[in-house]
Amino acid sequence: MLRVLYGGSPAASAKTLELILKDSAMSSALSREEYKIVGVLTNPPSAQGRHKELIPTEVAQYARIWNKARNDDIRIFEPEHVKEEARNAIAEVKADVFVCFAYGHILGPKFFQLFKYGGMNLHPSLLPKYRGATPVPAAILNMDEETGFSIQKMALGIDEGDILDEQVFRLTGSETTESLLNRAALYGGTVITSILRGIAKTGEMPPSRPQEGKATYCSIIKKEDGKINWGNSAEMIDAQIRAYTPWPGCFTSVNGQQLRILKAAAASKVALQDTAVPKNTSGVPGTVLDYNKHRGILIQTGSGVLIVTELQWQAKKAMDYKSFMNGARNFIGTVLD
């Protein structure tokens, strides 16, 4: 039986882990015995919330839920860094292959020597485009017409491995980073299960091909990147909000108080036939123009009108635009900073 170590941390990665586990020999719903997850490698618990409680990653949480529900013994590794002590512990589970989606650490040659078949990585872009840690926000920010995911053999260079499989998605202009990551998690996870079954059957990694085309790289996202510049176009701000959902989120300020803009869209995209909604005005960028009960709150940008439908004051609950306007006197005419 093929023994698998799975690496990942966020919620989307936990979805892929769930799919692989349910397909594997560890699922009581299936009789085949082709491969099994023997361990997961994830980030250590992080301090969250007002009381800085240490919370395990979503991958660690799901592995523990699985263990408890199935009386299983998946080992959970949560090292700060994958150095000698961590490698020695991982070696004890005798995994044949490493499968990774959004683990977030650079791994060295000594790590990959632990696995007979090396490693494979689910990367949510069409490599070599958008190598690095933030390929999904990059595709949304650049308003690409298509994106996808790649299953690559892991190499020492960042996202430089040969391609085992890839899938292309057309983009509608309404996707968020969260929705695209979830899509890659499910579709990519299905492809990974097929590859794992193939390795278990043949004793070999499937054929791969070198990456083709010019490599591009995406940058690390910082919390301050979420600040909205109202001088940008409505389409650019729309893309920024979707790209930074769920993190770091987009925000502006009203008289020194932070206001998060959670959902919005350019008027040119969602109100083409609605003559009651202006597509552009001569107003100062950031000006709250009007409140349309059927559409949302209208805000002038550097080019075009943005329709906002969900907002959140700092330290308050998120609200739809109708609830927000019920408690926001004199909001019309305000210039957002």
Upstream peptide bond of 10 is cis (omega within 30 degrees of 0): no
- Reported as half-sphere exposure (CB side, CA atoms, 13 A), residue 197 has a value of 13
pLDDT digits (tens, 9 = 90+) for 58-85: 999 999 999 999 999 999 999 999 999 9
Q: Which two tokens stand for residue 321?
A: 């635009």
The rounded distance, in Å, linking the Cα atoms of 110 and 91 is 11
Whether 207 contacts 274, CB under 8 Å: no
What's this model's pTM, rounded to 2 decimal places? 0.93
- CA-nearest of 98, 217, 109, 95 to 160 is 217
> In this model, does residue 271 exceed pLDDT 70?
no
Task: Classify residue 172 by its DSSP letter.
Answer: -
The rounded distance, in Å, linking the Cα atoms of 6 and 320 is 39
Whether 7 contacts 99, CB under 8 Å: yes
The rounded distance, in Å, linking the Cα atoms of 315 and 303 is 31
The rounded distance, in Å, linking the Cα atoms of 176 and 161 is 27
- Per-residue pLDDT band for 31 (boundaries 50, 70, 90) equals very low
Name the least confident of 207-211, 235-239, 253-257, 284-288: 253-257
pLDDT digits (tens, 9 = 90+) for 312-325: 999 899 999 999 99
> In this model, does residue 50 exceed pLDDT 80?
no
Q: Side chain identity at 150, as an amino acid letter?
A: S
The rounded distance, in Å, linking the Cα atoms of 297 and 306 is 8
Can you give the pLDDT at residue 26? 59
Name the least confident of 51-60, 201-210, 215-224: 51-60
Q: Side chain identity at 244, as an amino acid letter?
A: Y
